[in-house]
Amino acid sequence: METKLTSDAKPEIVETKLAPVTVISESPATSIKEHEKKEILQQYRRLLHALKPQLQKGDRKMIRLAFEIAYDAHKDIRRKSGEPYILHSLAVAQIVASEIGLGAVAVMCALLHDTVEDTEVTLEDIEREFGGAVAEIIDGLTKISVIFDVHGFIQAENIRKIMLTLSKDVRVILIKLADRLHNMRTMDSMPRNKQIKIASETIYLYVPLAHRLGLFDLKSELEDLSMKYSEPKIYKQIADKIIESKKERNRLIAEFIKPIKEGLTTQNFQFQMYGRLKTVYSIWRKMREQGIPFEEVYDKFAIRIIIKTDSEDEKACCWRVYSIITDCYRPNPDRLRDWISNAKANGYEALHTTVMGPEGNWVEVQIRTDRMNEIAEKGYAAHFKYKEKQTSDSSIDDWIKKIRELLENPETNTLDFIDDFKLNLFAEEIYVFTPKGELKILPLKSSVLDMAFEIHSDIGQRCIGAKVNHKIVPLSFQLGNGDQVEILTSKKQKPAEEWLKYVVTAKAKSGIKNVLKSERRRIVEIGKKALENIFRQRKVSFNSHNLNKVLDFFKIPTVNNLYYSIGVGNFKITDMDNFVRVGDNIELKDQSKTADENLELAIKNKLVSNASLFAFGDGAETVDYNLAGCCKPIPGDDVFGYVNKNKEIEIHRTNCPKAINAISKYGFDIVRTKWTKQHQIAFLTGLKITGIDDVGVMYKITSVISGDLKVNMQSITIDTKDGIFEGIIKVFVKDTFHLTELMDKLRQLDGLLSVARYEDQTIAP
């Protein structure tokens, strides 16, 4: 018997059914104080209130038991912020109940999600108290916690296990998303390097997962929080400008919705209508993609209309609302999106249109019913609620089924799968049909080959082309919305390496790679036997010493690559004339070539350029480093470094997609970096400029660059169309201040419409 904290005003004596555990005595530093107990009770009551509409008989008792076990298990643990750890468990459970909309079982799991990993509570204890379903979810949550804690292939295998768990019970990933959201909301107390690492993981995997599972609000908040910690300066600038423009924005929204509101009221609609501001992250992405400042992003908000109607009238009512809107404002026909007739793969349903507002700005309007809105906000959880009312399986269920099939195949390369899988999480969809009219949803830019593998792996492997809308096309042909596709096959066909260029789906890529690997293994075996015969003819041993001699001489990295080269005929028996037999072994006839190459390599390894450019940590010491070629950091950029698999420090800009993917996939150690003062070195970067094609404009631009600011240029590329030119100028600058000064000078020139930093990743050093 022991005292437990409960939802009642006073502590109650509750008998615990858990197996005996070693109780850590509460020290003054870790014990939960009275004011903290009041806060915990308040949060627990909030949780019960959020769950009240869906509580079944006995649920309240089991939730209280889960809370008491979690409270007791975590009572000596505090977070980095100093608050009792149980508040985190309660916050995760609150997100699960209120923001995702899951029920009592998921809330129990959320309360207990860290107990098995961090405390002496065991999975057997959980199963005994709550049953197998809860234990299985807790087991999945325990495994998912190590996803980014180790390097390389082991980490990739963890992701594989997690995805398999997801495919069995999607509540595992939903609870983990809630856990990640609360961690991101409370990350201010974490050190900077940890913030970057966690933000990178979030944008790499958790944001796409939230998107695919239809959790739009959660996904948007995770994007914003990731940007807040990876790009704090830019985030604050945009957030401040959003606050500054609030008054004007509210005026525009009120003016825009007034005639629509009158029309809906006249036709007796029950509705809600409001303006929804786009997120900091989405505004920033638009600024980057279009190379425009904040002030030129016109669609900073969207109008959302939610109508109340019976399920059988949903479609007709949404189109009636569309008609009222287009009676008030002129629509853009290219921006009509009908996700009512065909829902998105994540279950999203709505009608989107973009119309010209009263002040000459395009405004997006989203039309939904109550049911559609709940699915849009709570994603898979809401879909699950409505599932029994639907006549066919959800596309989300189909997607999860595909994940299971791919991952249960032992031939699937996990690292490749993760990259392909992540891309497909965010992909826009197209809708195509079989000859019998069966609908297939594929990612945008899918080919005939993707469609073939979508139908069946055997059909994909034997595909030779297709009839698209009754016209014969090659297997590389990209499909469009509404295409009718008949796949053509041949028993003699087999996959080739170039097929990988034609496909975008994970299923197709996996199917092609599996066949290619099988074929490669066959060729490797042929090559191995051939080399054994060559060694036998030369009367030398088939051992590692002799194999390494051959690998070193021909600069082949692995034995299997050597076998493959022999198997495809690249290796001739006369190539062995470069060696002489010494007993059972072989040695090179002439070692001078290898010695010269080794000397050259040794000299290259000694050449360290600009080693004093970066200072790491809090001291003034300097280290060797590599400036990343993908994002071209220059002094003044917000940068960080990580130790790569070759134990070298790579320096990247904090928003570099390649770095984010690398540290997320492999869990590289992040090191803090800062620039030292260094003005003698010039760094290559690029400018993207657009302007009016007029006489003398290029002279003005080059005069500012080379004349006024004495900046060296590497190259200029200009394209002109319809009186507007667009150009890329590659220049050498000292730092971001130097670059900003140059950009500001250019913006002052007459005829220039925009000047932005060029984000292309192909700038050569």
Phi/psi of residue 195, nearest 5 degrees = -60, -45
121 vs 605: CA distance, rounded Å: 52
* H helix runs in 555-656, sequence order: 559-567, 592-606
Question: Nearest 5 degrees, angle CA 79-CA 82-CA 85?
Answer: 40
* H helix runs in 202-311, sequence order: 207-212, 216-230, 232-244, 246-266, 280-290
| Structural class in CATH, domain 238-389 | alpha beta
Element at 301 (helix H, strand E): strand 301-307
What is the reported pLDDT for 323?
94
727 vs 725: CA distance, rounded Å: 7
Q: What is the CA radius of gyration of the chain?
A: 31
671 DSSP β-pair partners: 641
What is the reported pLDDT for 154?
41
454 vs 448: CA distance, rounded Å: 10
What fold does the segment set 2-228 form as a domain?
Answer: Hypothetical protein af1432 (1.10.3210)
Contacts of 697 (CB under 8 A, 6+ apart): 691, 725, 749, 751, 752
**Cα within 13 Å of Cα(332), Cβ side:** 15
Q: Which residues are catalytic?
A: 117-118
Q: Examine domains 2-228 and 238-389 and report if their fold is the same.
A: no
Q: Is 724 left (phi over 0), alpha (psi -120 to 50) or beta?
A: beta
- The CATH H-level (homologous superfamily) assignment of domain 683-757 is ACT domain (3.30.70.260)
115 vs 126: CA distance, rounded Å: 9
At 514 the three-state DSSP class reads helix
How would you class 591 by CB atoms within 10 Å of its CB: exposed for 0-12, middle for 13-18, buried for 19 or more?
A: exposed
All structural domains of the chain with their residue ranges:
2-228, 238-389, 515-606, 614-675, 683-757
Question: Nearest 5 degrees, angle CA 465-CA 493-CA 445?
Answer: 35
Q: What residue type is 497 in one-letter code?
A: E
What is the reported pLDDT for 480?
87
Helices (H) and strands (E) in the chain — how many of each? 28, 24
What is the reported pLDDT for 561?
82
What is the reported pLDDT for 14?
37
Q: How does pLDDT run across 532-578, given as a tens digit for each residue?
A: 888 888 788 888 888 888 887 777 788 888 888 888 777 766 667 77
Write out residues in the chain with pLDDT < 70, as ranges.
1-30, 143-168, 380-427, 572-575, 590-625, 646, 663-669, 671-672, 674-682, 722-723, 759-765
Task: Report residue 676 as tokens.
Answer: 């030292």
